[in-house]
Amino acid sequence: MIGERGQGPAVLARGLEKSYGDRVAVDRIDFEVRPGVCFGFLGPNGAGKTTTMKMIYGLAGIGGGELRVLGMDAVRERRRIKARLGVVPQETNLDGELTVRENLMVHARYFGLDPAAVERRIEELLDFTILRDRAAESIWALSGGMKRRLLVARALVNNPELIVLDEPTTGLDPQARLAVWRALERLRARGVTLLLTTHYMEEAARLCDRLLIMDHGRIVAEGEPGALVRKHVGREVLELKLGEGCDADALLASLDGRLDGYELTEDALMLYADDAEDILRVLDHERFPTDSALVRGATLEDVFLRLTGRSLDE
């Protein structure tokens, strides 16, 4: 299952771009995914994550630039690339006319794998994704979480070196999400390269070795999760709910030099600093009344919101 470790990147993009009509979905991005890591793409809806994934797994043409997957050219060697990929798409597209086990068998055949030869592997995958009891059932009888797990099992039938997961846990309840995470963690432990997109910072922080944040088709930040937090937010956050008549600009001016940054939303002010307790202490509470104040550690969520904006711009 281990790919060409240490033999060049699993994915390499140089000036990669894609437009749909006038809309630029991916705007000349560069990135590199090393083999064996879990690499996460973060970004709001419409940032270009899904389009990037689709170019990697062959469901969107390459608009421009260069894309190499497992060392092969994504335009000319699509078939050979796809033979070594596993894909968990954003939308559930299981074969509704087949049972759970048949879905895996038929999918294996698309890879040219002999059903007799993959029989054992399919049984293993049913165990791996805790679907054995459901193997003979129709897809319609499965819950959302089971369908997601079956999508993961399906992505593994060809023993892929690289697995692309587009929002693998969106819409799942916490238990189902945990089950998918565990499956992904086991895969990562086996050395499979994982490439995933997500909206959930918790998911990114838990699973990913390296993250890339996209917005409006461009890459706005890249790095290890902890390093991203330290670089863009700092260590701690003081979250203030401003009281009546509190002048946010004056408040910020009064703390000049003590902050790593701030973020103002409609009803709250986030102050980023190495020691948020200290900020709370020096704040002039007479002049700047607050309804509530919370000191907490900085998270990826803060990085994400800081870099991609807090307002919904869809």
Partner 1 sequence: MADFADQPYTGLGPRIAARDLVPSPGHAWSVWLRNARVFSKLWKGALLPQFLDPLFYLVALGFGLGTYVAKVNGIPYRDFIAPGLIASATMWSASFECTYNVYLRMNETRLYDAVLATPVEVQDIVAGDLLWSAARATVYGTVFLTIVAAFGLISSPWAILIPPLVFVGGLCFSVIGYTFTSLIPKIDLYSYFFTLGVTPMFLFSGIFFPFNQLPGWVEAVAWLMPLYHLVEITRGMANGPDGLQVLLHTAWLVAVSAALFTIPVRALRAKLVP
Binding site for partner 1 (CB under 8 A): 20, 57-61, 78-80, 82-83, 85, 87, 89, 91, 93-98, 102, 106-107, 109-112, 154, 158
For the record, the structure tokens of 233 come out as 């937010």
Contact 2, 190 (CB under 8 A): yes
* Integer Cα distance of 184 and 208 in angstroms: 10
Contact 163, 192 (CB under 8 A): yes
In whole angstroms, the minimum distance from the beta carbon of 56 to partner 1 comes to 10
Contact 212, 41 (CB under 8 A): yes
Closer to partner 1 by CB, 107 or 177: give it.
107
In whole angstroms, the minimum distance from the beta carbon of 287 to partner 1 comes to 56
Closer to partner 1 by CB, 61 or 226: give it.
61
* Integer Cα distance of 81 and 88 in angstroms: 16
Closer to partner 1 by CB, 80 or 182: give it.
80
Count other Cβ atoms within 10 Å, centred on residue 247.
Answer: 12
In whole angstroms, the minimum distance from the beta carbon of 268 to partner 1 comes to 39
Helix 144-155 and helix 100-110, axial crossing angle in degrees, nearest 10: 30
In whole angstroms, the minimum distance from the beta carbon of 114 to partner 1 comes to 11
Contacts of 294 (CB under 8 A, 6+ apart): 238, 239, 240
Closer to partner 1 by CB, 63 or 223: give it.
63
Closer to partner 1 by CB, 165 or 251: give it.
165
Closer to partner 1 by CB, 59 or 294: give it.
59
Contact 172, 179 (CB under 8 A): no
In whole angstroms, the minimum distance from the beta carbon of 237 to partner 1 comes to 40
Residue type at 282? V
In whole angstroms, the minimum distance from the beta carbon of 158 to partner 1 comes to 8
User: Do β-strands 23-33 and 38-42 pair in parallel, antiparallel, or remain unpaired?
Assistant: unpaired
The position carrying tokens 């879990």 is 38
